[in-house]
Structure formats: structure tokens, C-alpha cells
Amino acid sequence: MSSRIEQLLAELTPEEKVSLLSGEDFWSVPAVERLGIGKLRVTDGPNGARGGGSLIGGVKSASFPVGIALGATWNVGLVTEIGAALADEVKSKGAHVLLAPTVNIHRSVTNGRNFECYAEDPILSAELAVGYIKGLQGQGVSATIKHFVGNESEIERTTISSEIGERALREIYLIPFEWAVKKAGTWGVMSSYNRLNGTFTSEHNWLLSTVLRQEWGYDGIVMSDWFGSHSTAATVNAGLDLEMPGPARDRGQKLVAAVNAGEVSVAMLDQRVLAMLRLMERVGSLDDHRTFQEHANDRPEHRALIRRAGSEAAVLLKNDGILPLAGSGKIAVIGPNAKTAQIMGGGSAQLNAHYRISPWEGLATALGEDRLSFAPGCTNHRFEPVLRGTFKVEYFANQTLAGEPAHIGSMDDAQAFWVGHVADGKVDPLHFSARISGVFTPEETGEHRVGIYAAGFGRVFIDGKLIADAWTGWTKGRTFFEEGCDEVVGTINLEAGRAHQVAIEFSTKEFATLGLAAFAVGIGLPLGDAAIAQAVDAARDAETAVLFIGRNGEWDTEGSDLPGILLPGRQNELVEAVAAANPRTVVVLQTGGPIEMPWADKVAAVLEAWYPGQEAGNAIADVLTGAAEPGGRLPQTFPVRWADNPAHSQDREVYPDLEGKVRYEEGIFVGYRYYDRVGMTPLYPFGYGLGYTSFELNDLVIDDSGFESDGKLIVSLAATNTGDRPGSTVVQLYVSDDKSTEPRPVKELKAFEKLHLEPGEQRSVSFLLDARCFAWYREAAHHWLVEAGGFTIRVGQSSADLPLTGSVTRSTTLMLAV
């Protein structure tokens, strides 16, 4: 602790101390001008830095690949580069803290936020988190690793109790956070919304004080997720430093009163304040008195990095020799994601990207548009397409659209996300109404679908007729972070070329947890059999058909889990029809996690491209044409069907929830650990991915000279590129306990290294394993235990391809402190 912050603490009044422990507004902690303490500003991440704007619109930002895409790179160095680049983005938005990375585990295949997280495996997640944090904080910007802990589902996430045994917590869910503290020195941690075993994590003393601070030695801050604090004394005493957002709800004068009443000691208050001052000193906000400004810095080096990372994230799941594309024949570009750039997931991670490159644009640039033909085939949207255009907005300082407007403004597109500051401050952001008016001119005549969903009451009129009503009988659904209703859809016949008058009425309502107001209105014309027939004709007339299918940020989103892992809409039907017409069919998937692929054996190639950021189309085209290697390996097992996933259960308390609880019954057997345990072969295993060259691993050597004394081991081997072009692979090392007194996984990932080798190049790889690599957590004794007996070392290029094996043995047990 520096003498400066000690001096500041001594000079702060009780009220000033308390002011530093809650937000001033949605994105900042107040300054203390009397002592020259500047304002601390935060911004959402993790795949960019949105700044202080709404989730919709705002100052433009660079859009990087999402978390699962970075997980698929298995490249710690690359993720460190991205962390450093994100520091530039944070600074361009006038902020000091990035709310990232997200390291919750892929427990299920249907979690709406899997796209934002790295992996199903704690070691892969932890290694990448360490790189991300070091890159970010190396540039003076604080990370805020999240969500601590047990937020593996978006269903009732603000109230649910995640019932997780301590062994599963220690061996799976806490490891990325532990490494972030011990190996990366993270300056920030964000508590999750949920309860952990009955207690909100924001007031969980065992979690925030015993584990995080006492056992791990953490000296940074813990902030609440937005509106995730539920008490005053309990949160402060448990270890929650900062309540967000502001203005204060549970702190402020309530905390002053709690200190005066002896519910919170002065010493405890000072601990919380010192943590905040320490963070402010680390990120330089103590002395940051600049006028707040946000800039849209579209940097060429960020463009190049995003494109490179997008290619390295792409996982080639199948290739019958059709890729990379060669020759000069006609290519049919088909599918709902072909001309739409799906660059990110939904929720707090979304931002206003500088630009979006679609796969069509990427292929047109790489191959020439004259070689391409296009057919959409079908749709894959969850909601009707947002109504685009410029709209007049009349704001009323009441909830009944009564009287004269308090403010008149405009909006681009028929959607809004209002938080904190609305209509230039002329209405209460939680108690207002609005009338939005504009026109819609259809391109085709026919029966159109009109949809609206809202965190508030909303309805849509076209040419004066009520078409979609989300006002009367409003019911809570799975939109806008569970504050909104599900989409309400009506139909109307519209005439091509005619400017139809559109009026949208909106009013706020009481919120459950998150204080926000929002709506989205869309109008769409359904595609039918004719669209699939058109796609089949295009495929039949081309040498190669490339199908761009999957999901989008409406499906893969914060605040809503997936209903399953079948492709939405008629996409499976489209693949079957196109593959029947042209056996040279390549499927390019964009999803935030696994899908079922009933057509996998009928297509020539499958590429999983995830949501790779603003350079999506260029990165995908680079891989398809061979300008770049498909460098990704799966960070999550792809099961044959949803029912194969360990979280899938007839018991609703296991998933999705029952009476306020979700029970992690599978314990430590998450992902590949489960499939190994039950002997089930997945569609594609964890760690799997093909490239455009081949690799051999050999010469495994194990140095166990220190294994008996301290549990350490050195494993070395040689990796060779045996193909005729440069390429990459991931060398993966797994450990098996041959005989344990408690159930353990068949194998567990303990180390890995991404290699890029030229043709014929050979490189030595070494791994240093410590005692924790062989230990399991014994709950009753509260320690890690390495048991006497044999262990098997397995090395290969996926969890299902481990040709190199070796054995080591201990004659004594070894107990390790937490």
C-alpha cells in the first residue's frame, strides 16, 4: 500500500469514503474534488470496449472475436495481444476498467452466454484468462474477471441458487479465477448475480473473504454485477467493495447509517475504501481530470489482429479434400448468414462496430464477385428483422403518453435501449412514455409479420391499425436480460412500394432487477419452399456450394438460454436439399456453441467460424481459400444430440431450474470428463480440429526426478509438420490417476501449447507439471491431495487422439494447502 493512498484515506470524511463504494451513474465512480481524486470510469467488454453508450448505437468501437472463438485458438500469446489492443480501445472511450474477461464454464450446451466464455475446461479457460489480463493490465487498464461464481446459465440468473459442491467448485469453476489472482494479478473481480448454495455471491463471506482474499491473497476490488447488490452491511462485511451502477441503492446514506449503528465497523469500511483507492492508483484515475471524451479509433493494426484471430479461431471439423477452395469454377453462396455479418453475440457484450464484413463480401474480394451466385434459402432469425430507417420520437414525462411531449428526438432503427439518461434528461428514465413514428416501404407485396418485444409496455400500429400488442396482458419473457417480454407477432398485408405509416407506443413499467427500458420492432416477409428450391438450383448450377448457416446474437445472448441445439428455422432442411443437389457442399457454421448435425455425413466439409468480430467475412474467406490456416481446436465438446450433454436431465433442478435452484449434480464431470466417464463418443471431441497440413508427435520423455519429493514433473516431446504447407496444431497433455480413493475423471487437461511450423519443421515441446496437476480436492480435510500410486501422462492433438503415453509413480501421499 502506497503512502499516498494511506494519506488520502486519512483525509476522507465518512461520507466521502462511502461515496467511493458505489457508482455515481451507470459507468463511473464519483470524484472527490476536495482531495483531487479523479473519477473512475468502466466500460463493458469482453470482445471490445463499448464505452458509456447504450447497447444500441453509440460511439463506434472495434469488435474482436467473442470468447468461445478465443477459446478455440488455444493461443495464449494471441489472447495476450488482444488484451493489449483492448486496452487501447478502453482508453479511446475515456475509461480505466474493462468489465472482462468472462470465464464461466461451458457446463451445458444451451447456456445463452457460452459464446462469451472460453471453454468447458478450467485449465484452458484459466490459461487464456491469464494472457488476456496480462495484456490488458500491462497497458494500465484494469481487468474485471467475471462472474464470480456459478453463473453457467441465463435462466432466472439474478435470483437462482447454483448448488455446487466444494470439490466441483475447487476443481472446475474457481480455477480460472484462482489463476487470474495468483498468476495474472487481476485488479478487478465481478461477483455474479446468482446465489451460491443459497447466498448471493455479492454477500458471500466464504467466497469473497475466505477464498478470494485470505487463501488466494487478492488485493484488488470486487464489484457487483449491475444491480447485483442486495444489501448494505452484508455486502460490505462479506467483501464487496463497489456497488454498481449508481446512484447508490444499498449504500450512500444507508451505509453511513450502518457504520454509525455499528453494523459495519470503521475498519471494515476502510478496507473497502483502500481497495478502491488502490485500484484508482493502479489505473491512473486518481490524477485523471481530463474532460470526458469518447473516440472511435479505427486502427489498422486492430483490423489486422482481428482478421488474424478470426482465422485462427476457425475450427475445421470435416474436410473431404474440398478445402481449401481451388480452381475457377462457379461457387453458390447460400444461407441466411451469407450476406449478413454475424460478428458478435447479444447482451452487454454487444457494441456498435466500426464496420461488418459479411462472408459474401469476403469471398467477393478474395475470388471476384463474378464467380459467385447467391440464394438465401431460409431465415434463421429469432425475432422479426429490425425495422430500419429514421424515426421521430416524442418523449412524455408520464407513463400514459399524455399532454405535450417533454422532448422530441429521433432514432435510427425501431429499437432502443434506455438506461440512466433519457431524452437529454428531460424525463425520468424509469417513468416515461414515448411515441415513435415513421414509415415502412416493402419491397414485395404479401403478408408480413410484425413483431415487438419490450422491457416495458409496447404496441405497434400500421396505417392506424393495431397489429402487434405487447401492452395488454404483458408477460415476462426471455428478452432484455429477463426484463422484457417474449416477442409478440401480428400479421398484415402490405403493398410493395407503398410508404406505410408506422407508429410505436411505449411506456415504462416496474422492473424486476435491472433498471432499464427497451423495445425492438421488426417487420419480415417469411421465406417458403420457393426459397429452398432457388438455393437448390443455385447449388446444382455451381461447381461448389458454400452454405453459411447457424445462429446469431438473438439466439446466443445474455439473458436467455437456448431452447435446444438444433439449428433454428429450416436450416437443416436447407443443408439436406443443397447437399443432395451438389455433393461438393461446404457448410460454414456461425454459432456460440455446439449444434446437432444430422447431415454431417452428407456434406464435404464443415467449418465452425463462431462470431469472429468485424472482420468476419475476410477471416472466413481467408480460411476457405487457404490464405490462412484453420487454426482452431474445439474448446467445447460437440455432442451428437442435446440429450447427450451432462447437464441435460429429466430432473428440472439439474437443468434448467426448479423452485429457485439449479443443482450441479454432475459435479466435476463436465464436458469431456462426462463423455469419458460414460463411454459416449461425441460428434466432435474436445480439442479436435483439422488443418491443411499434418503433424506427428514423438519422442516422449518424462523426467520424474522431483516427482516423489515435490510432485513436479517435466514432460518433453518433439512435434513435426509432416505436410507440404505451413500450419498449426495444439499439443495437449492430459493426466490420468490410475487408481484413486475418490472418483476422478479418466483424464484431465493439464497443459497445452499452440505450435506454428513450416513444412518439415520439427520443434521440441516441454511442459513443467506441478503437484496440483495430480491432485484432487478433499472437502472434508480442506486440502488438495496427491495420492500414492501410478499416474499416466497422455499427449496428443485432441482429447480423443492421445498416442503418446508414459507412466510415473509415487510411493507417498502429498497434501497441498488451498
Beta pairing class for 727-737 and 789-796: antiparallel
Check if the beta carbon of residue 752 is closer than 8 Å to that of residue 732. Answer: yes
Domain end call among 491, 524, 557: 524
**Cα separation of 560 and 219, whole Å?**
34
Return the bridge partners of 504, or none.
436, 460
Q: Nearest to residue 224, comparing CAs of 494, 23, 440, 512?
A: 23
Average pLDDT along the chain: 97
Instruction: Using a pLDDT cut of 90, give the percent of the chain over it.
Output: 97
Check if the beta carbon of residue 123 is closer than 8 Å to that of residue 322. Answer: no
Return the bridge partners of 547, or none.
334, 587
pLDDT over 90 at 1, yes or no: no
Burial 318-339 (b: 16+ CB within 10 A, else e): bbeebbbbeeeeebbbbbbbbe
Confidence of residue 171 (pLDDT cuts 50, 70, 90): very high
Residues 464 and 533 in one domain: no
Q: Is residue 352 part of a domain?
A: yes
Range of the domain at 496: 390-524
pLDDT digits (tens, 9 = 90+) for 657-709: 999 999 999 999 999 999 999 999 999 999 999 999 999 999 999 999 999 99
Check if the beta carbon of residue 635 is closer than 8 Å to that of residue 74. Answer: yes
CATH of the domain at 768: 2.60.40.10
Check if the beta carbon of residue 588 is closer than 8 Å to that of residue 556. Answer: no
Q: What is the mean pLDDT of residues 250-267?
A: 97
Q: Is residue 670 part of a domain?
A: no
- 10 Å CB burial of residue 463 (0-12, 13-18, 19+) is middle
CATH of the domain at 309: 3.40.50.1700
Residues 21 and 93 in one domain: yes
pLDDT digits (tens, 9 = 90+) for 379-436: 999 999 999 999 999 999 999 999 999 999 999 899 999 988 899 899 999 999 999 9
Q: What is the mean pLDDT of residues 579-601?
A: 98
Beta pairing class for 446-455 and 488-494: antiparallel
Residues 507 and 535 in one domain: no
Check if the beta carbon of residue 556 is closer than 8 Å to that of residue 590. Answer: no
Check if the beta carbon of residue 532 is closer than 8 Å to that of residue 378. Answer: yes
Q: Is residue 688 part of a domain?
A: no
The helix/strand/coil state of 398 is coil
pLDDT over 90 at 513, yes or no: no
Q: Nearest to residue 796, comparing CAs of 645, 688, 723, 668?
A: 688
Q: What is the mean pLDDT of residues 190-210?
A: 98
Confidence of residue 55 (pLDDT cuts 50, 70, 90): confident
CATH of the domain at 137: 3.20.20.300
**Cα separation of 87 and 187, whole Å?**
14
pLDDT for 515 = 86
pLDDT digits (tens, 9 = 90+) for 805-815: 999 999 999 99
Residues 6+ positions from 289 with CB-CB distance below 8 Å: 31, 36, 38
pLDDT digits (tens, 9 = 90+) for 639-668: 999 999 999 999 999 999 999 999 999 999
Residues 137 and 281 in one domain: yes
Confidence of residue 187 (pLDDT cuts 50, 70, 90): very high
pLDDT digits (tens, 9 = 90+) for 713-752: 999 999 999 999 999 999 999 999 999 999 999 999 999 9
Q: Is residue 474 part of a domain?
A: yes
Residues 367 and 397 in one domain: no
Confidence of residue 58 (pLDDT cuts 50, 70, 90): confident
Residues 258 and 128 in one domain: yes
Residue in this structure with the C-alpha cell 461488418, named with its chain if needed:
356
Residues 278 and 352 in one domain: no
**Alpha-carbon distances of 506 from 285, 394, 416, 472, 757, rounded to whole Å:** 39, 10, 11, 12, 58
Dump strand ranges (E) for 441-516. Answer: 446-455, 457-462, 465-470, 476-479, 484-485, 488-494, 500-507
Size of the chain, expressed as the number of residues it contains:
818
Residues 6+ positions from 740 with CB-CB distance below 8 Å: 776, 787, 789
CA 519 to chain CA mean position, Å: 23
CATH of the domain at 517: 2.60.120.260
pLDDT over 90 at 53, yes or no: no
Confidence of residue 54 (pLDDT cuts 50, 70, 90): confident
Residues 319 and 402 in one domain: no
pLDDT over 90 at 2, yes or no: no
Residues 120 and 171 in one domain: yes
**Cα separation of 688 and 799, whole Å?**
7
Residues 337 and 227 in one domain: no
Active site residues: 225
Residues 163 and 268 in one domain: yes
pLDDT for 704 = 97
Domain end call among 651, 684, 703: 651
pLDDT digits (tens, 9 = 90+) for 320-374: 999 999 989 999 999 999 999 999 999 999 999 999 999 999 999 999 999 999 9
Q: Is residue 180 part of a domain?
A: yes
pLDDT digits (tens, 9 = 90+) for 74-118: 999 999 999 999 999 999 999 999 999 999 999 999 999 999 999
Q: Nearest to residue 92, comparing CAs of 131, 133, 43, 137?
A: 43
The helix/strand/coil state of 462 is strand
Q: Is residue 175 part of a domain?
A: yes
Q: Is residue 656 part of a domain?
A: no
**Cα separation of 337 and 523, whole Å?**
18
Q: What is the mean pLDDT of residues 629-639?
A: 98
Check if the beta carbon of residue 269 is closer than 8 Å to that of residue 251. Answer: no
Q: Is residue 283 part of a domain?
A: yes
Domain end call among 625, 651, 677: 651
What total number of domains does the chain contain?
Answer: 4
The kind and range of the H/E element at 176 are helix 175-182
Instruction: Using a pLDDT cut of 70, give the percent of the chain over it.
Output: 100
Residues 544 and 638 in one domain: yes
Check if the beta carbon of residue 449 is closer than 8 Å to that of residue 524. Answer: yes
Give the global pTM. Answer: 0.96
Return the bridge partners of 590, or none.
550
Check if the beta carbon of residue 126 is closer than 8 Å to that of residue 184. Answer: no
